[in-house]
Chain A
């Protein structure tokens, strides 16, 4: 496992965090990532290199394309899990609060 602090500082950048969160939902290519973000494709590639050297994302080839995904052994996995966890928990909380609205 690469240095965990490297991983954490890599996630401190908002664009890298956005890239990481997209990859946490679904593995994607550089082109697919660039289409959903207000940054250039070369910039996305650079961010991916930082995330990769921090041990947060992994890459594999599918034909001619390189597909990036969240590295299941990376520290960032726990953050991705918490992010999804709180979405689910707060949905359930809202349903409970609104079940019996006060008059």
Chain B
């Protein structure tokens, strides 16, 4: 195994008609207002997604029954320019403290036009070790493939 192999990151860019301050606030503090409710990992339906507003803060979802499921944590909290999150859900969409992929979100002012939001989900190679770990479970009922299919359907329907 060599450390130089990396997975291509997932990159997205959008422009929103709002200043960076508002874009950052809605993305982070307001994540509960827009995060798709279909993307829940808990056993209880998701009530709200939450990002605690400081470095080291937790990123989690709160279920309707009050239970909390962690997604990851805040690695860098630099309003209104940059937010760096650790996405720590494994290939079965279970929280794994040893798995760290990064989601970096940058907010760049575009004069009076608004803000460009650049999102990069990287270090996806962390899933490689995880995939090896769960290899035996991939084809098991309720395994990786089934979970992904369910998520794909949820996306298609939303």
Contacts from A to B (Cβ < 8 Å): 1, 4-5, 7-9, 11-12, 17, 72-73, 75, 77-79, 81-98, 101-102
Q: With A96-B33, A98-B16 given, can you name 18 additional A-B contacts, CB distance below 8 Å?
A: A1-B131, A9-B5, A11-B7, A11-B8, A72-B145, A75-B128, A77-B148, A79-B7, A81-B152, A84-B152, A88-B158, A89-B35, A90-B119, A94-B16, A96-B26, A97-B27, A101-B18, A102-B18
Contacts from B to A (Cβ < 8 Å): 1, 5-8, 10, 12, 14, 16-19, 22-23, 26-27, 30, 33-36, 39, 91, 117, 119, 121, 124-125, 127-129, 131-132, 135, 138-139, 145, 148-149, 151-152, 155, 158
Instruction: Chain B residues near A97: list those with CB within 8 A.
Output: 16-18, 22-23, 26-27
The answer for the CA separation of A96 and B131 in the assembled complex, in Å, is: 35
A contact patch SS: helix
Contact present for B17 and A17 (CB under 8 Å)? no
The answer for the CA separation of A87 and B12 in the assembled complex, in Å, is: 7
| A-B residue pair count with CB separations less than 8 angstroms | 107
Contact present for A92 and B10 (CB under 8 Å)? no
Contact present for B35 and A92 (CB under 8 Å)? yes
21 contacts between A and B (CB under 8 A): A7-B128, A8-B125, A9-B5, A12-B5, A12-B7, A72-B145, A72-B148, A73-B138, A75-B127, A77-B145, A78-B91, A78-B124, A79-B10, A82-B10, A82-B124, A83-B10, A86-B119, A88-B155, A93-B27, A98-B17, A102-B19
